[in-house]
Structure 1
């Protein structure tokens, strides 16, 4: 299984830099029973069945993109340099982060993010660093809200800078547990009226948590994709959530995760076909063609990057040939791609 098997041509003009408004106005490619249909996310109450269980990731994205300065004494006086920081995940002491430019930083240096927050460089590696901030807990959260920006994916950030509108656009309406540095983007299509209409239809919901990490954007660098190692992310399936999913499976109802993050979590928590167990910890599950799905009956997801692990995941669910057909249709018909783009509902 080669990396080139998951490549396709994507015109840059199809990369969405802003979401649809309202959220549920986004287009929806419905692939079910061997057919492809062009719909809209707002049609979900007519598409889904009463009793279908949607699995929703309730992680909350933090404003993890920080712009700071560091000052260093030189023979010519004090030199001030601008530093771009992207928080990755909490460490035992401080935060793991990326820095740009990394090579100019030194252990012990202090980076100032305005008047609200400072951080000391505690540790350096070839690819990142560990920062210890001068605030913790609620004080840190408040300062981060003041000085941070939403960590837009690289393919959007390359086209425009994040702004205040992204604080709302890049967050789900049910976000509850803070800790993600990337959004579960399929969930961004839902708004309150759509959730109410789905509930009236008899569609049920259950919440799980997977804190999406920046590693979700890491490219696959090996030609033999089966040798790729996934990044680890922290997640939780509560006993109540596991019971709701097991009840749906026992009753023959469909379990449909909204987003690849929710899918990866429930598949990680399933010890055997048809059953899920409570789960709390990290997962680095890598799903590619050949994977046997244990609790997933379908998936709502956005359109993914060429040669990405997420494209491999949907190929595992639908079959590689079918995904090539679906993505070919999406490109020809002008669907909008990636985090702020349109959606697909994949029912194998």
Structure 2
């Protein structure tokens, strides 16, 4: 079955269509609107979003990105780079370190911040604790220091250093609960102007702390064998009420979508979400989707296909490429209604 083959989710994207920087203003990004029932495609701009929405409630992800990338040195003096993948329990962190390290190695960063390597995982990640002045730091203390000395964790495919503009641009206007190492990118298009235009819609917030696993590639040709990464989530009472109602729901982004659908299946309001949506595991609650354009052969493009099918998804991507849409985190948006 082609829907289960990784190679069936590949497409060719010209390098110039990878957005290195966001639209300015954010809501001037392009918006491709796809109507599932009729197959109609409309090309618009994001600030016109309200004009296309059917009767529905919107659910947003209010996670906040922290500065998860650190540059420093090993004890030997060699340079090193540490990227926090995910916050763990007991004030520990799952990280990637550029360069060879072994257990008990100490990495040195600005502001007297050190990281001690506790464990080397088989997948190349490491588990660390952060210390300052020989005292182990609590998670919230690490997050506070990260805002001072860390760097915005831009996706690797942008192939550039972060800058001051990214501190604003790589964060949604409704970001609230800190803990993500990647932005819920569909949210980046929203401005106060767009939110004002949606005031007549019911809305609610969930929190899913996007981890580095969102960029993890699928390695197995049969996608049903893929082990999905997990990310911490928490649903507000308002979101639970909406999901439990019969009101049609628009999920703003893939992260909100996975959380909505995970709750619909498990009734768990917090924990670790590892739901893999694809054409063989379709949505059971969410009706509409707002999202960006995603990497080939990624779990994110497979999530889109869970709503409209693989062939329709690839046709829409062809249409977007033909019309010079920008792709990936800082790229343009697509509304599926």
Query: Counterparts of 1:48-127 in structure 2 under 5 Å?
Result: 48-49=53-54, 51-72=55-76, 80-93=77-90, 94-101=92-99, 103=100, 105-126=101-122, 127=124
Aligned mates of 2:146, 2:320 — CA distance in 1: 38
Distance 1:35 1:300 in 2: 16
Matches within 5 A, 1:197-208: 197-199=197-199, 202-208=200-206
Partner Cα distance (1:318, 1:288) in 2: 10
CA distance in 2, matches of 1:210, 1:138: 17
Whole-angstrom distance in 1 between the partners of 2:323 and 2:276: 30
Q: Could you say what secondary structure the match of 2:325 adopts?
A: coil
Kept in 2, the 8 Å contact 1:69–1:83? The answer is yes
Question: Post-superposition, which runs of at least 4 consecutive aligned residues in structure 1 deviate over 6 A?
Answer: none
1:88 is paired with a residue of what secondary structure?
Answer: strand
SS at match of 1:330: helix
Aligned CA distance change for structure 1 residues 121 and 290 (closer, same or farther; 3 Å) = closer
1:119-198 equivalent positions in 2, closer than 5 A:
119-126=115-122, 127-134=124-131, 135-156=137-158, 158=159, 160-198=160-198
- Is 1:263 the counterpart of 2:260 in the alignment? no
In the superposition, the TM-score normalised over structure 1's length comes to 0.90
8 A Cα contact 2:33 2:44, kept in partner? yes
Please give the root-mean-square deviation of Cα atoms over the aligned residues, in Å. Answer: 1.5
**How many residues are matched?**
325
1:314 corresponding residue in structure 2 = 304
The SS at the match of 2:47 is helix
**Is contact 2:243–2:264 with CA below 8 Å preserved after alignment?**
no
Which of 17, 34, 38 is 2:43 aligned to? 38
Aligned to 1:336: 326
Instruction: Provide the C-alpha distance between the structure 2 equivalents of 1:223 and 1:246, rounded to a whole number of angstroms.
Output: 36
Deviation readout 1:70-113 (Å, 9 max, x if unpaired): 123xxxxxxx1111000012233421100001x2x232222121
Unaligned runs of 5+ in 2: 132-136
Change in CA separation of 1:290 and 1:128 when aligned onto 2, cut-off 3 Å = closer
Other structure's SS at 2:141 match:
helix
In structure 1, the gaps of 5 or more residues are 73-79
Residues 170, 188 of structure 1: 8 Å contact kept: yes
**Contact persistence 1:242–1:278 (CA under 8 A):** no
User: How many Å separate the matches in 2 of 1:130 and 1:182?
Assistant: 19
Instruction: Judge conservation of contact 1:239–1:277 (CA < 8 Å) in 2.
Output: no
Hey, what's the Cα distance between the residues in 2 that align with 1:107 and 1:228?
29
Distance 1:128 1:325 in 2: 36
| TM superposition score normalised by structure 2 | 0.93
The 8 Å contact of residues 87 and 181 in structure 1, kept in 2 or not, is answered as yes
Q: Does the aligned pair in 2 maintain the 1:27–1:38 contact within 8 Å? A: yes
Residue 242 of structure 1 is matched in structure 2 by: 240
In 1, distance between residues paired with 2:94 and 2:244? 36
Aligned to 2:315: 325
Partner of 2:134: none
| Higher Rg | 1
